[in-house]
Amino acid sequence: MTKAKNESARILVIGGGYVGMYAALRLQRRLKHQLKGVAPGRSDGDGLRLDSGRTPGDDLGAGVEIVVVSPEPYMTYQPFLPEAAAGSISPRHVVVPLRRVLKGCRLVIGEAVSVDHERRVAHVKTLAGEEEGSGPVEIPYTELVLAPGSVSRTLPVPGLAEHGIGFKTVEEAIGLRNHVLEQLDIASSTRDPEVRDAALTFVFVGGGYAGVEALAELEDMARYACRYYHNVRAGELKFILVEAAEKILPEVGEEMGRHALRELRARNIDVRLGTRLDSCENRVAVLSDGSRHPARTLVWTAGVKPHPVLQAAGLPLTERGRLQCTARLKVDGVEHAWSAGDAAAVPDLAAREKGTDGAVCAPNAQHAVRQARLLADNLAATLRGEPSSDYRHAYAGSVASLGLHKGVAHVYGRKLKGYPAWFMHRVYHLSRVPTFNRKVRVLAEWTLAGLFKREIVSLGSLEHPRAEFESAAGAERRGNGE
């Protein structure tokens, strides 16, 4: 599609994760001479009129406007979540502020609930709409980039909703760190042996990247913290990893996966393969092998699923619920709709050339970042009437951390373990974390962490900052006889 000379386009990017942020960042660079500023008189806090009673581009003149809809004002660099949970990196440095990075875009903080692509409008729940009670607003667009990412995939396990802890956001990572340290406090002060045993038992469900790295980092932290508790020994900690498959970390290959398994078991971590969580009611983890484990901590990292907005978009989906896309990152058979990353099933041309028919790109960060950049290039080229390109990338490999100075890696056919793999893990992710500002801050924190001791302070009260004030106010009312 080539835009008429005096017609402007609005590109709506739904999602502020890997694909959303990198695509918008690339677009604002590719289209910097066509980007339009904010016209006077617009009605919402971001300077963007959200109603659909106007044509996209009215009062803008010729040019392009990029609008990014994200539920949070930041992008989370998820590979650093385990280190944030362990205290090696400050939570503020695991996230990238979208307003600082996407200066040429309009940012709308809200959740996309549905898309009417025939009318080319998206329905978005914004913070202002919730306060006003006005419901979702409509945002019209010319081109749609649908990249909402994924959400945690849960199963109907009794007690999971009440007692499970996720590990997908920075809030969950910091909440889990606080929770683990609070369990040590409980174990140190209780006289009930059953409460003590449950407090010192930590169950992780899922043997992929998230589960293994989170468990390894937190086990490292908890074992270190025990030296500051006079009556809690590291040998009393009980970490259990539950995985339904017969192996862990399939992304790093079979050999490195077996090494990771040996490494975890050598640290007295109870890894149970071919096992499922059947129930966790009353804080008791019941496994499919018949064992029962009273535990006050249950972390669920057993996979993800496509974001619900994909079902409400009316666009072609695969059997797994991902958008059916072409190698040029357009939604298959649909004009003006693009996607990449977790939300998209993109043909893996590199794998197909090697004889793997029907292969699609894995939903991981390595593909997401590269796809986002090509998506932006193709979209910009389409707006200019230029040809676009196919996405082709051979999988380079994977690295995984198993705690401080421990890791596994399988990159470009080379297999590493121990300190070299851990070092490669840090170097790789430091090179990939967005913005020079974040790279320097993370490197500085790693340097300081190597020079000084770990922090073992639990700040659980941050999750309920008004609790003390509410208690004091309630006591005053009771004192006044109210």
For residue 473, what are the β-bridge partners?
A: none
Residues 214 and 170: beta-carbon distance below 8 Å = no
Centroid of chain to Cα 377: 24
Task: Report how many helices (DSSP H) and strands (DSSP E) the chain contains, helices first.
Answer: 14, 24
Work out the pLDDT band at 58, boundaries 50, 70, 90.
Answer: very low
Whether the per-residue pLDDT at 371 is higher than 70: the answer is: yes
CA atoms within 13 A on the CB side of 164: 23
Given this model, what pLDDT does residue 175 score?
A: 92
Structure tokens, 449 = 């962490």
- Distance from C-alpha of 464 to C-alpha of 167, rounded to nearest angstrom: 19
Given this model, what pLDDT does residue 480 score?
A: 64
- Distance from C-alpha of 321 to C-alpha of 308, rounded to nearest angstrom: 9
- Distance from C-alpha of 147 to C-alpha of 344, rounded to nearest angstrom: 8
Q: Please state, rounded to an integer, the average pLDDT across all residues of the chain.
A: 87
- Distance from C-alpha of 52 to C-alpha of 284, rounded to nearest angstrom: 52
Whether the per-residue pLDDT at 434 is higher than 60: the answer is: yes
CA distances from 51 to 42, 44, 48, 305, 383 (A): 11, 10, 9, 31, 24
Contacts of 482 (CB under 8 A, 6+ apart): none
* Tens-place pLDDT, residues 218-235: 999 999 999 999 999 999
For residue 292, what are the β-bridge partners?
A: 286
How many angstroms separate the most distant Cα atoms in the chain? 79
Q: Three-state SS for 8?
A: coil
What's the one-letter identity of residue 287?
Answer: L
Over residues 33-53, the mean pLDDT reads: 50
Residues 88 and 214: beta-carbon distance below 8 Å = no
Name the residue among 122, 8, 131 with its Cα closest to residue 70: 122
Give the sheet arrangement for strand 284-287, strand by strand: 277-279, 284-287, 292-294
Name the residue among 45, 390, 437, 400 with its Cα closest to residue 214: 400
For residue 189, how many other CB atoms are within 10 A of its CB? 12
Looking up tokens 């695509």 gives 23
Q: Is 398 left (phi over 0), alpha (psi -120 to 50) or beta?
A: beta
* Tens-place pLDDT, residues 241-296: 999 999 999 888 888 999 999 999 999 999 999 999 999 999 999 999 999 999 99
CA distances from 442 to 55, 77, 213, 279, 436 (A): 44, 12, 18, 39, 10
Contacts of 408 (CB under 8 A, 6+ apart): 249, 252, 256, 257, 259, 260, 263, 399, 400, 402, 416, 417, 421
Residues 354 and 5: beta-carbon distance below 8 Å = no
- Distance from C-alpha of 92 to C-alpha of 238, rounded to nearest angstrom: 30
Whether the per-residue pLDDT at 117 is higher than 90: the answer is: yes
* Tens-place pLDDT, residues 176-234: 999 999 999 999 999 999 999 999 999 999 999 899 999 999 999 999 999 999 999 99
- Distance from C-alpha of 216 to C-alpha of 238, rounded to nearest angstrom: 12
Work out the pLDDT band at 129, boundaries 50, 70, 90.
Answer: confident
Whether the per-residue pLDDT at 306 is higher than 60: the answer is: yes
Q: Three-state SS for 451?
A: helix
DSSP 8-state code for residue 123 = E
Whether the per-residue pLDDT at 46 is higher than 80: the answer is: no
Given this model, what pLDDT does residue 466 score?
A: 73
Over residues 305-330, the mean pLDDT reads: 93
What's the one-letter identity of residue 77?
Answer: Y
Whether the per-residue pLDDT at 61 is higher than 50: the answer is: no
